[in-house]
Amino acid sequence: MSTRFAKPLVALSLLAGIGGVAHAEGLYVGGALSAPNYSSQINGFGGGDGGSGPGAKLYGGYHVTPNLALEGGYFNLGRSHSDGTGGTAKAQGVFLDGVASYEFVPKWSVLGSVGVAQAHLKTSDGSDDSPALKVGAGLQYDLSRTTSLRVGYDRYRFTNAFDAKPYVGQTTLGANFAF
């Protein structure tokens, strides 16, 4: 991780906290592997062809109430498939989300998130930084009071990447750990 993201990540970690599980107030940390989906071209590369990866997501959060949390962390969206010329696009950055959860049966929760991100996007022809709007949805299964598994999808809408507004998504599979 570059130093460009180190200070914002530390600030987000302090703001969001570090440890807990769904439906319990407190701190949690988590991580996930992801499969990227570059549905838009970025600086002329990728677009509509999914992506190659894997990507990753590391986060910490704090449950403000049993069903609402603040979550912040680092994301890496893998890379787009080659466009035939050998060129690819990739993105990584930091995010801050509000996460709502609802336990629909014991141990199973549906999750929804809305937030903002700041990313560094890099292609074979250059690099750029862009803020993004972020939405996500997923399911969580509580293995125990301190450990849970998550599957989800996050969608980023970059607002000024190479003078465009590309979409990039990621399907995630990961785990949360409480302290």
- From CA 7, how far away is CA 3, in angstroms rounded? 7
For tokens 């890379």, name the residue: 79
What are the helix (H) ranges across the chain? Answer: 3-16
Q: What is the mean pLDDT of residues 146-152?
A: 96
Q: What are phi and psi of 9, to 5 degrees?
A: -65, -40
Domain enclosing residue 53, as ranges: 3-178
More confident residue, 49 or 109: 109
What are the helix (H) ranges across 17-149? Answer: none
What is the pLDDT, as a whole number, of residue 175?
98
What is the pLDDT, as a whole number, of residue 115?
98
Q: What is the mean pLDDT of residues 85-107?
A: 92
> Domains in the chain: how many in total?
1
For tokens 């906290």, name the residue: 17
Residue 6: is its pLDDT beyond 50? no
Residue 1: is its pLDDT beyond 70? no
Residue 18: is its pLDDT beyond 70? no
Q: 14: helix, coil or strand?
A: helix
What is the pLDDT, as a whole number, of residue 7?
47
Look at residues 135, 95, 75, 87 and name the one whose alpha carbon lies nearest to residue 15.
Answer: 95
Residue 119: is its pLDDT beyond 70? yes
Q: What is the mean pLDDT of residues 16-20?
A: 35
Residue 15: is its pLDDT beyond 70? no
What is the pLDDT, as a whole number, of residue 84?
65
CATH number of the domain bearing residue 113: 2.40.160.20
Query: What does the mean pLDDT of the chain come to?
Result: 85
What is the pLDDT, as a whole number, of residue 48?
64
